[in-house]
Amino acid sequence: MRTAFYLLPLAMAPLFANDFWLVQILGRALSLGVIALSLTFLAAYLGVVSFAQTTMAGVAGYTVAYFGPNTVDVGYELPFYVILPLAMIMATLSGALIGLIARRSQGIYAIMITLAIAVAFFYFTRQNYSVFNGWTGFSGLRAPDIAGINLRAPVPFYLLCLGVAALSLVLVNGFIKSPLGLTIQAVRDEPKRVLAIGIPTTPVIVAAYAFAGFIAGSGGILNIWLQERISSFSVGLGPIVDILVIAVIGGLKHPIGAFIGAIAFVLLDTFAVDFIDRERFNTLIGLVLLAIIMGAPDGLHGLAKSWLSRSAKRPAKIKT
């Protein structure tokens, strides 16, 4: 029901939005939203804030770049039906590996260790030319034609982003109700007790990160098809902070927050230049972030929820 409430206007967007809005605003917001969703998932259900989600998305992106069509003459070209599953597997494995490294870390330590991994990956992509093509990276990345549909055209690409976003939300909502999803939440609440009911915690944590890697990977693929390039800057500190800002603005308590935050972020990012200097954008985003953290720690989603429940109660008050 609630999903349909968000989905319906978005599905009808091609009827009234122009290509710029479809691709650069909505498509971009949805693909960033999927990556942010992987962060929100870990924060809400495993209770850790991970700075490595852009890295997992980047692993999928680089896999597609290396094995797909590009204009830099690095890598092999494989058919898309091999590349895409391979990219998802690589992203999932990268998530599992990061989870294995970060498994004992919580709170500020989880932030530090995932940030360290992300920064190490950034420098590695910069210095490695045989696989990552150094700081120039890959350009000329093109979404394929699938079943006769040209995914580079604005409307199909937008609908693809919407489909992937909706699917990843459905996936997260189903997963958290599965036995493994419940176990992940149990680890968030009381890791000790999880052991005391006979469940080792390491595989649970690794599985949570792997699932987050899968989600981040699908967002990462959309993102490089949108940008048509990937380089070390795509996995650097800038995008890492963007994803964190999106997740925090939207609200870390509920998966939908990632998309609310992404739309707010992309709107600011696109239109703030009309009012302020490009260089001031980070100041603006910083102030918005500060306002959210101070005024609405559960993000825009939390704000909307409390506002809705307040206005829903109001008529009852008038009656009595």
Contact 169, 255 (CB under 8 A): yes
> In this complex, which beta carbon is closest to another protein, that of residue 177 or of residue 313?
177
At closest approach, how far in Å is the CB of 206 from another protein? 12
d(CA 270, CA 275): 11
Considering the complex, state which of residue 204 and residue 243 has its C-beta at the smaller distance from another protein: 204
- Using the minimum distance from each CB to another protein, give the nearer residue, 182 or 291: 182
Phi, psi of 25 (to 5 degrees): -100, -65
Going by C-alpha positions, the residue among 6, 28, 11 that lies closest to residue 266 is: 28
Tell me the closest approach of the beta carbon of residue 119 to another protein, in angstroms. 31
Token pair 């580079």 is found at 152
**C-beta of 203: minimal distance to another protein in Å?**
8
Rg (Cα) of the chain, in Å, rounded? 20
Q: For another protein, which is the closer residue by CB, 30 or 207? A: 207
User: b or e along 22-33 (b: 16 or more beta carbons within 10 Å of the residue's beta carbon)?
Assistant: bbbbbbbbbbbb
Q: Which two tokens stand for residue 287?
A: 């102030």
* In the complex, minimum distance from the CB of residue 197 to another protein, in angstroms, rounded to a whole number: 4
**Minimum CB separation from another protein for residue 198, in Å?**
4
Q: With respect to another protein, which residue has the nearer C-beta, 147 or 196?
A: 196
Choice between 192 and 317, CB closer to another protein: 192
Specify the length of the chain in residues: 320
The SS3 assignment for 169 reads helix
Cβ proximity of 249 and 289 under 8 Å? yes
Whole-Å CA distances, 259 to 120, 123, 236, 265:
28, 29, 22, 10
- Two tokens at 68? 């797909």
Question: In the complex, which residues of this chain contact another protein (CB under 8 A)?
Answer: 174-175, 177-183, 185-186, 188-190, 192-200, 203, 207, 211
| Token digits of residue 310 | 């307040």
CB nearer to another protein: give 59 or 207. Answer: 207
Q: How many angstroms separate the CA atoms of 219 and 142, rounded?
A: 15
Smallest gap from residue 113 Cβ to another protein (A): 23
CA angle 16, 18, 19 (to 5 degrees): 140
For the CB of residue 29, give the shortest distance to another protein in the complex, in Å.
28
Residue 165 or 204 with smaller CB distance to another protein: 204
- Minimum CB distance to another protein, residue 71 (Å): 39
